[in-house]
Each structure stands twice: as C-alpha cells, then as structure tokens.
Amino acid sequence: MPVRAAFSYRNGRRQRPVSLDEPVPADADFAWISIVDPDETDLALLARRCALHPQIVRDAGDEHVRPKLTLRGDEIVVNARTVTRKDDAIRYGTLALFVGRDHLISVRIGDFADPQSVRDQLEEAPELLAQGIDYVLYAVLDYVVSGYLAVVEAVEEDLFELERRALDTFLRRPEINRLFALRRDLARFNRILGPTEEMLGRLEYIEHDGIDPEVRPYFRDVHDQVRRVAARTQNARESIGSILEASSLLEQHRQGEITRKLAAWAAILAVPTAVAGIYGMNFDVMPELHWRYGYFAVLGLIASISGFLYWRFRRNGWL
C-alpha cells in the first residue's frame, strides 16, 4: 500500500499511526490517511474500507476524471484536479478525497500538489486541526485551488513579456508558437474550472453530518477563489488574441512605413532616370547637347527637383 502518511488525531494533535484496513481508534476524533499512486488492489481495499461501489473508488485512479462531488450514505467523495506548470506547460494530476464521520482519505495521482504540506501546517496549529474533518477538507481544497492561482499568475507573467516584445519588435515564429501553446493550455485548464466551480458550489450548501455549518464560509471562500481564477483565465485568453492582433497591426504599420519609404525613394530616383533617358535617345537635333552650360544646367535641374521631392517627402513623414 503506497501510504504517504496515516495518523489518528484527537483534539487537534497527532496520536498514532493507523492502517487503511483497520478501524479508527475509539479514542480518536478522526484518522487522516494519504495514499499516492494506488493500484487496483489498493483501490479495492479502499472500496471495502469506505463501503463504496468499486466504480466510485476507481475514479480516484483515473487521470482524466472530471472534478465532481459524490454522496453515498455517510461518505462524501470529492474528485479534484491538481495542476502545476512545468517546462512552460500546464501539467495535471488528480486528488480524490473520501470523507466520512471519522476519517479523511486522500488519493493522489501525480508527483506534485502533495497535501503533506497542508498536514504539516495544520499539525503546527492544533486549534485549527481540532475543528475536525470538514476543516481539513477545506484546507486541502484551498491548497489545490492555490495551485490554480499560481499557474494563472505564471501564465500572466509570460503574456506580459510577450506583450512587451510584440510592442518593441516583431514577434518571431517561436514566440507566436508559444502564444498558441498558451492558448491551448488555457483552453484545457478552463475545462476543469467549470466542473470545479460546480463541485465547490454543491459542497458549500451540502447537508451532511460531517460538514459543520460554521465551516461553510470557508468553502464559499474557496469557491470564490475558483471564480476569480476562471475570470483571470478568460482575461488571459483574451490577452493572447489582443497580443496577436496588436502584433499584426504593428507589422502592417511597419510594412506601410517601408512601402512609403521605397515609394518616396523611387520617385526621387525617377527624376535623374527620366532626364538621363531623354538625353540618351541620341537624336541629332538636341540644342542642349551643344550648349556650353547644358551639362551643368541638367545636373542642377536634377538636383533641384530631387531636393524638392526629398523635402516634401520628409515633411510628410515618408522619409
């Protein structure tokens, strides 16, 4: 059995180690058991321990299960998704919580979002742990949702950097690919936020002996956090579209500037080209060819017209 930690608690303090296949000690308030990456045998034992249908417990080992809340008699089953950001991509895990009157069993799939840190914090504050299983459930869910917020903040920082680059220089192919990868990641992330909101909304108003009414405001706080994460995720997705649109507009503007400059220089260079073409036609009767000052006059004419065109283009912002 891949047990991460398993202890009984009384008055907010750890008592002794416990086992999944043994009942909670009579002198304990509850037992908190953490399991990591269980196999089929472990899940079958968990089903017998909690008196649940095997399919409900099997969802705990499903890496693609949707966040949901299931009630079966005295047992509350919470399926949540854990997230982290690694190698510029959002990675997912699962966390199933089986809550009864005298136990909380967590089943985690993945090597991140370990609720052991929640256990450590609560054990350092016995007055919080003494509030019971429902408070432990809140603390674990709050930890999971805090991971959501960290992921969104990391994505936002990346978008701020890409936005700055889009305004300063052209976005290169790798940066555009990165934007589309972020958009795909946020779309997948958004798929779990909706079910998570629904699950926490049910948990906020659930009628159950194991949920103290005084703890409901805590679940409401976690629910509000998920809503804020969902709103920021939507804003991030819209920002990606805005960055791409701004980059496209700036690129069109730069191309327009280059086109105007090329057109201006083409017009200026057309003057000596035209004059040279006229006097290069080799006609016999061209009076200017035999004029003493013809060469200097033509050069002056070219310089004057070209200078006038340069001044006008410069004045109009084309050069």
CATH number at residue 175: 3.30.460.20
Same domain, 184 and 218: yes
Res. 205 pLDDT band, cuts 50 70 90: confident
Report the pLDDT value the prediction gives residue 272, as an integer from 0 to 100.
Answer: 83
Same domain, 148 and 267: no
Averaged pLDDT for residues 4-26:
85
Q: Rounded to two decimals, what is the model's pTM? A: 0.77
Report d(CA 275, CA 289) in Å as an integer.
13
Res. 117 pLDDT band, cuts 50 70 90: confident
Alpha helix ranges (H) inside the chain: 40-50, 54-58, 116-123, 126-129, 133-168, 173-205, 216-278, 294-315
Q: For residue 225, give the DSSP letter.
A: H
How many residues does this entry show for the chain?
Answer: 319
Averaged pLDDT for residues 296-315:
83
Question: Domain end: 194, 228, 250, which one?
Answer: 250
Count of CB atoms situated within 10 Å of the CB of 294 = 14
Same domain, 127 and 275: no
Question: Domain end: 250, 269, 299, which one?
Answer: 250
Report the pLDDT value the prediction gives residue 195, as an integer from 0 to 100.
Answer: 92
More confident residue, 73 or 197: 197
Question: Whose CA is closest to 92, among 76, 74, 109?
Answer: 109
Report the pLDDT value the prediction gives residue 86, as an integer from 0 to 100.
Answer: 85
Report the pLDDT value the prediction gives residue 53, as an integer from 0 to 100.
Answer: 66
Same domain, 267 and 241: no
pLDDT of 214 > 60? The answer is: yes
Residue 214 tokens, joined: 């005084």
Tell me, what CATH number does 293's domain have?
A: 1.20.58
Number of domains comprising the chain: 2
Report the pLDDT value the prediction gives residue 138, as an integer from 0 to 100.
Answer: 92
Same domain, 82 and 219: yes
Question: Residue 68: is it exposed, middle or buried by C-beta count within 10 angstroms (0-12/13-18/19+)?
Answer: middle
User: Cβ(6)–Cβ(19) under 8 Å?
Assistant: yes
Res. 51 pLDDT band, cuts 50 70 90: low
Same domain, 207 and 273: no
Averaged pLDDT for residues 231-239:
92
Report the pLDDT value the prediction gives residue 1, as an integer from 0 to 100.
Answer: 53
Alpha helix ranges (H) inside 16-53: 40-50
Same domain, 217 and 239: yes
Among the ranges given (12-21, 180-189, 293-302), the one the predictor scored with the smallest mean pLDDT: 293-302
More confident residue, 204 or 154: 154
Report the pLDDT value the prediction gives residue 137, as an integer from 0 to 100.
Answer: 92
Report d(CA 161, CA 314) in Å as an integer.
35
Report d(CA 267, CA 276) in Å as an integer.
15
Domain that includes residue 275, residue range: 259-315
Report the pLDDT value the prediction gives residue 221, as an integer from 0 to 100.
Answer: 93
Question: What's the chain's average pLDDT?
Answer: 84
pLDDT of 141 > 90? The answer is: yes
More confident residue, 253 or 13: 13
pLDDT of 41 > 90? The answer is: no
Question: Whose CA is closest to 97, among 214, 219, 249?
Answer: 219
More confident residue, 206 or 289: 206
Res. 190 pLDDT band, cuts 50 70 90: very high
Same domain, 9 and 34: yes
pLDDT of 114 > 80? The answer is: no
Share of the chain above pLDDT 70, in %: 96
Averaged pLDDT for residues 264-275:
83
Averaged pLDDT for residues 240-255:
80
Report d(CA 34, CA 17) in Å as an integer.
12
Same domain, 229 and 268: no
Report d(CA 274, CA 135) in Å as an integer.
88
More confident residue, 18 or 42: 18
pLDDT of 111 > 70? The answer is: no
Question: Domain end: 196, 224, 250, which one?
Answer: 250
Same domain, 16 and 41: yes
Same domain, 11 and 85: yes
Question: Whose CA is closest to 223, among 191, 201, 205?
Answer: 201
pLDDT of 235 > 90? The answer is: yes
Same domain, 201 and 278: no
User: Cβ(107)–Cβ(20) under 8 Å?
Assistant: no
Report the pLDDT value the prediction gives residue 176, as an integer from 0 to 100.
Answer: 85
